Amino acid sequence: MTMTSTLNLLTWNCHGLGHAIKRKEILCALKKEKADIALLQETHLCDAEHAKLRRAWVGQVYFSSFKSNSRGTAILIHKNVPFIIDKNISDPEGRFILITGSLYGQPITILNIYAPNTDTPAFMSKIITLFNEHCVSFGVVAGDFNCTLNPTLDKS
CA 112 – CA 110 distance, rounded (Å) = 7
Q: Specify the pLDDT at position 1.
A: 38
Q: What is the mean pLDDT of residues 6-21?
A: 94
Res. 2: pLDDT tops 50: no
Q: What percent of the chain has pLDDT over 70?
A: 96
- Annotated binding residues, written as ranges, equal 13, 42
CB atoms within 10 A of CB 113: 23
- Annotated binding residues for Mg(2+), written as ranges, equal 13, 42
Query: 150: pLDDT confidence band, cut at 50, 70 and 90?
Result: confident
DSSP letter string over 81-145?
S-EEEEEEEE-TTSSEEEEEEEETTEEEEEEEEE--SS--HHHHHHHHHHHHHH-SSEEEEEEE-
CA R_g for the chain: 16
Q: How many helices (H) and strands (E) does the chain have?
A: 4, 8
Query: Looking only at Cα atoms, what is the longest distance across the chain?
Result: 55
Provide the sign of the torsion angle of the four alpha carbons 34, 39, 44, 45, taken in this order: positive
What's the pLDDT tens digit per position in 54-66? 889 999 999 999 9
CA 94 – CA 97 distance, rounded (Å) = 8
Q: Specify the pLDDT at position 96.
A: 98
Was domain 9-147 assigned CATH 3.60.10.10?
yes
Q: What is the mean pLDDT of residues 134-150?
A: 91
CA 30 – CA 33 distance, rounded (Å) = 5
What's the pLDDT tens digit per position in 83-113? 999 999 999 999 999 999 999 999 999 999 9
Q: What is the mean pLDDT of residues 126-147?
A: 96
Residue 5: strand, helix, or coil: coil
Predicted TM-score (pTM) of this structure: 0.92
Res. 22: pLDDT tops 60: yes
Q: Specify the pLDDT at position 8.
A: 97
